[in-house]
Structures are given as C-alpha cells and as structure tokens.
Structure 1
Amino acid sequence: MQVEVLTDEDGLKGAWFAATIIEPSGEDKYLIEYLSLRNDDDTEFLREVIRACNIRPCPPEIIVVDGFKVWDAVDAYYNEGWWVGVIAKVLINSNYEVNFIEYDKTTFNQADLRPHQDWLNGKWVVP
C-alpha cells in the first residue's frame, strides 16, 4: 500500500515522503520502504519502522487550473519530500516564491506544488 510518511530525521522534519508499507512491525508500527530516500551507501531504498500516527494515505490529486495566489497553503516537492509552505509571491511562467515555516523562501514551478491538504479524522480536508 502506498502512503506518505512523516519522519523525525534531522534535516527532514516536517516533510512527508512517499513510501510503501511492507508489513506490520509491532503494535501501531509498520515497516515501510521509501520510494525516493535511499540508504547511506545508495544501494537500495531506505526501510524504516514508523509509528502509525506518522503514516497517512496519499492525498487525492487536486487540479489547479488558474494557478496559486499569495497566501495559498501548498505542499512543495523539495529534497525528495513534500514540505508545507505558503505562496509568498507569484512570479512569471507559473513560478512561485514559497515561504516555509522553518526554512527560507524558495522558488518553485507550479508542477512541483500541490494544494495543501490535512488528513483529519480519516478524511482529507483543505484548510
């Protein structure tokens, strides 16, 4: 089953990463394999035991027809994961400056952004 996983790893806190659940691993824990993160020697995809509270289904795709606007909450694909941010500035050619909660502003193309959604009580909610 494909899911997204929140990790507590230094430098990656706050980002959601695509993964596959391999098998249950104790009470409320699962062995997962990341789809983009690799092990230290880069020979295979990283596997890790993750608590169930840090796993969610992949969000449904929302098509953005007219682009984003300033203050829109977005997820930006950066450093192999989805990071929560806010549109700070609309640039030309479908590019946007995104402010992150704990990191500096960065520029993204619309193709690397998605509307932010929260997984609450078993349902996807757009804030």
Structure 2
Amino acid sequence: MSLDSNCSKELMKFTQGMQVEVLTDEDGLKGAWFAATIIEPSGEDKYLIEYKTLTNDDDTEFLREDIRACNIRPCPPEIIVVDGFKVMDEVDAYYNEGWWVGVIAKVLINCNYVVNFIEYDEKITFNQADLRPHQDWLNGKWVVPSDV
C-alpha cells in the first residue's frame, strides 16, 4: 500500500495525547503500523507524533515525526480470539516493533502459527499472543475484512 493511496479518504481529527497507530514509509518498515501518541497538530492535516517503540539513532529517546493525518488511525479495538486462528485467516503480526498484515499459512502446536507475508515473500512463526485479527479502518469505522 502506498501512503498516498491511503490519503484520499476523509480525514479524522486527532487530539493531543490520543493513542494511535501510524503507517510509515521508512525503508524496511513500509506497510507496518506502529503505536504512537499524538503530540500536537503540526500544519494542515499533519500531526507531530511520538512513537512508543521506535527510537532515535542513539536509542536515547522515542522518535518523533510529522505525519500526514491520512497515515494515522485510532488503535483498533481488541478482538478476543477464543478458538485460535485457522489457515487463511488474515492477521496482524507484531514484528520489528510494529503490526504487519499477513495470512495464517499453517497451524502449529502450542498456539503457534506460521504467518505468510505475501508482499515480502516471507514466512515467520508466531505465538498467538503476537497476533491479532486484521481489521481495516474504513470511513471512520473498524471493519473485519470478511465484513467488507
């Protein structure tokens, strides 16, 4: 997903201190959503945010960036997964400090799953604790892709 393709929809207004997720175009991190806090508006349809997990080059403080509003979304609501995931379920996997979209490729024992990241042609094993059902932020609402 290119960042600009995400920018055509109606923009949400964010308030100082709001917990959000941010899509970045940083090399090696494209396509992942990262937890952040809104610090303040920083121009027309832009906000200064502070990441919760990404730090500056010398790891002394959390990274701050000006981000376009269309690349910011509220944190998704928690969906409790009681029976685990099935093959072909679309999930977000917590990896490299962010949430990446993938598909369950294989169910293993002890609540472990092989997740296929199609865009990167890579498969990685995750515990269920590091997965969440994938949701999309569409027209100001959270929707599960099967509901679209």
Q: TM-score, normalised by structure 2?
A: 0.85
- Runs of 4+ deviating beyond 3 Å: none
Deviation at 1:70, TM superposition (A): 0.2
- How many percent of aligned residue pairs carry the same amino acid? 93
What CA deviation, in whole Å up to 9, does each residue of 1:21-74 have, x standing for no partner?
000000000000000000001100000000000000000000000000000000
Structure 2 Cα separation of the partners of residues 35 and 42 of structure 1: 12
Structure 2 Cα separation of the partners of residues 101 and 38 of structure 1: 28
Structure 1 Cα separation of the partners of residues 118 and 138 of structure 2: 20
Query: How many pairs were matched up?
Result: 127
Deviation at 1:75, TM superposition (A): 0.1
Deviation at 1:101, TM superposition (A): 2.5
| Structure 1 or 2: more helix by fraction | 2
Structure 2 Cα separation of the partners of residues 78 and 18 of structure 1: 12
2:110 is paired with a residue of what secondary structure? coil
Residue 47 of structure 1 is matched in structure 2 by: 64
Structure 2 Cα separation of the partners of residues 102 and 40 of structure 1: 27
Q: TM-score, normalised by structure 1?
A: 0.99
Out of 51-60 and 93-102, give the one that drifted further. Answer: 93-102
Residue 58 of structure 1 is matched in structure 2 by: 75
RMSD: 0.6
Residue 89 of structure 1 is matched in structure 2 by: 106
Deviation at 1:103, TM superposition (A): 2.2
| Structure 1 or 2: more strand by fraction | 1
Structure 2 Cα separation of the partners of residues 101 and 47 of structure 1: 30
1:102 maps to which of 95, 109, 119: 119
Out of 95-104 and 72-81, give the one that drifted further. Answer: 95-104
Deviation at 1:102, TM superposition (A): 2.2
Structure 1 Cα separation of the partners of residues 102 and 96 of structure 2: 14
